[in-house]
A and B are shown apart, each in its own frame.
Chain A
Amino acid sequence: MQAGTLTQRAGRSFGERPARARVPDVVMRWGLTALAAAVLALLAYFFARLIGESQTALSRFGALGFVFDNDWDVSSSHYGALPLVVGTLVTSAIALVIGVPVAVATALYITELCPRRARGPLTILVELLAAVPSVVYGLWGFFVLIPKLRPVQQWLADTFSFLPFVGGHVAGPSYFIAGLILAIMIVPIVSAITREVMATVPSDHKEAALALGATRWEMIRTAILPYSRAGISGAAMLGLGRAVGETIAVTIVIGNAPRIGQQVFDQGYSLAAVIANEFGEAASIPLHRSALIAAGLVLFVLTLIVNGFARYFVVRGQQGPKAAPAPGMAG
C-alpha cells in the first residue's frame, strides 16, 4: 500500500484546505525531486568536464595510443599509460587471487562452522579491517610489511622461478606487496557480500544435504557453493572495483617506477598512484595535467565496467540460480 494513493483518495478533504496550505507539500515534492535531479546533473557535468580536460592529451596521442603506449616519460613529455594500466590490473589480480578465497572461507566459517557465540565478534573483527584508512595500510606496508617480507619474497621468487613472471632480484616495494595490501583491504567487502548471498541459500537445501548423510564440508560443497556461485562472483567483482581504484596504499608500496615490471616482485606504477604522485609538478604543464586527467578517465571507465559486471552478478546471485548444477557427491 502506497501513501501516494491515499493522498489521491483523500482528495476531497485536501481540496477543502485553502490553497495556501497545500504549498508546502508541493515545495517538498519538487524540492526533493530537484535535489535528486541535481545529483544526476552534477555527475553528468563532472563526467563531461573529465572528458573535456583530457582532450589535450588524448588528441596528441590518440585514445588508443594513450592507453596502449608503453612509455610514460615525464621528462620528454611523452605519456603512454600502458605501464600504469598493467600495474593497476596486475596488483588488482593479485589482490583477487589472494583475497577472494580468504574472504569466501571467512564467510563460510562465520556462517556455518564457528560457535554461535563467536559469530558476532568475528564479524566485527573482519569489518574492522575496513575501518583502517588506506594511508595507514600504506604506512604499515612500507615500514613493516616490506622489510619483514623481503626474505619471503626472495624465497618465493627463487623457489617458484619456473613459473612465468616469477623470479629475479627482489627490491622490496613491488606489485606483490601492493596486491597483498589490496587483498587485505578487499577482504571485508567481499566477505560481507558473500555472507549476505549465503544467507539466501534455502535451509531446505542445506538440511537435505545433511539428512542424506553429508558431512559439513560436503554440505558446503554441494548445497551452499553451487547456489551462491553467481553472488560470490559479484562480490569478487566489487572487490576488484575497490582494488582498481585504491590509491594511497598502493602509491606508498608499489615503488612508483613507470615501466612494466617483468615479474610480480618488480616495482611498478598504477593509474591512481601516478595521479596522486605527479599532480603537484603537473599543475603548471597543461599536457602533463591533461595526461593525468586522462589517466583518471581510464581509471573511471575501468571501475564503471567492473562495477557493472559486479551489479549484474550480485543481482543474479540474490535471485538464486535458475537451475543449480548438481555435482555428484563423491564419497
Chain B
Amino acid sequence: MSALAPVSHRRRRVDRAARGLLAAATGLAVLPLVFVVFYLLQKGVGAWSVGFFTTDPSGKFFGDAGGVRSAIFGTLEMVTLATVIAVPAGIGVALYLVEYGKAGRFAAAVRYFIDVMTGVPSIVFGLFVYIVLVIANTGGASFAGWKGSLALALLMLPIVTRAAEVVLALVPDSLREAALALGAPRWRVMLRIVLPTARPGLVTGALLAIARAAGETAPLLFTAFYIKRATGDLNRPMNSLPAQIFTDVGQAQDRLQARAWGAALTLVLMILILTTLARVVSRRSRLA
C-alpha cells in the first residue's frame, strides 16, 4: 500500500479549474486599470498643449475653449490649505490616542468616531460645510475656496489620524523611557523623540490623504463651486481639476470632452506621483 493515494482525476481537474478561475478573476480585476490608463493616454495626451496649461477655460461656445490653468491652481491651493489644516490636526489626535489615550472611555469614543468618519461619504462632508458655512455666507462670500479646503480637510483627517496612530504606536517604548530617564519632560519626548522617529510613516499617511483629497469632486461642488478664472483669493469661488472634468463631461462639444480627458490625465498623474512618493517614503522607513 502506498503512503499516499494518488489524487483522482476528478479532484485534479477541479483543482486546476478553480486555480484557473482565480487567476482569471485577478486578471479581470486589473483589466479596468489597463483600459482606464490606455484611454487616458490615448485621449488625454492629444488634449495637452502649452495653451492647455497656461490659459483659463474661456466659456465661449465658439472658438477657443481655453485650458485648465485655473483648475490646476485651484486644486493646488485648496489641497495645500486642506493639508495645512488636516495633517497637524490628524497627527495631534493620533498623538493624543497613543500617548495619553491607551485606555479610558473618552479615548475609546475618539477612536470610534474617527472610525465613523472614515466611513462618511465625501459628499456628506461637503453638505456639512455647505450648511454651516455656505448658507450663512461666512466670510462675506457664499462659495469660497477655503470652504472647499475645509471639506477636504474633514475628509483627510481620519485618514491621517489612523495612519499616524499605527506608526506612532510602533515607536518602541524603550526610546520613550530612555528619554524620560535622562530627565526629559513628556512634551520634549513627544516632540524630539516620538515624532521624528515616526516621521517617514507620518509622511506616508499624509501623502495618501492628500492623494485622496486631490481627486475628490463631490465635496467641492457646493463649497468651492466652479468658476472659469484663476484666482489666488481663497475667499472666492474656486475651480478645481475634478470639478472641471465633471463640468466638461456634461458638455456635448468634442473640444470640451477632449479637455476633460486632458484634465483627467493631469489629475491622475498628480495623484500617481503622490502615491509613488508615499510608497518610496514608507519603504525607507525604519518602522513598519
Contact = CB atoms under 8 A, between A and B. Distances in A.
A205 interface: no
A241 interface: yes
Interface residues on B, range: 35 or more
Nearest to B117: A43
Looking at chain B's contact residues, is the secondary structure mostly helix, strand, loop, or mixed?
helix
B187 interface: yes
Given A106-B26, A143-B257, A136 B127 contact: no
Given A28-B187, A131-B211, A40 B36 contact: no
B114 interface: yes
Interface in B194-218: 211, 214-218
Interface residues of A, number: 95
Contact of A135 (B8, B115, B185, B264): B264
Contacts, number: 261
B38 to A, nearest CB: 9
Contact of A32 (B100, B102, B117, B142): B100
Interface string A244-279: 111110011000000000000000000010011001
Nearest to B23: A109
Nearest to A279: B222
A331 B8 contact: yes
B221 A276 contact: yes
Given A40-B113, A105-B21, A139 B127 contact: no
A2 B102 contact: yes
B167 to A, nearest CB: 17
B234 interface: no
Contacts of A53: 131, 135
Contacts of A232: none
20 contacts: A1-B177, A3-B180, A4-B102, A35-B93, A50-B131, A109-B23, A124-B279, A128-B33, A129-B29, A133-B242, A134-B217, A139-B260, A140-B40, A213-B5, A245-B120, A245-B123, A248-B217, A275-B123, A299-B123, A300-B121
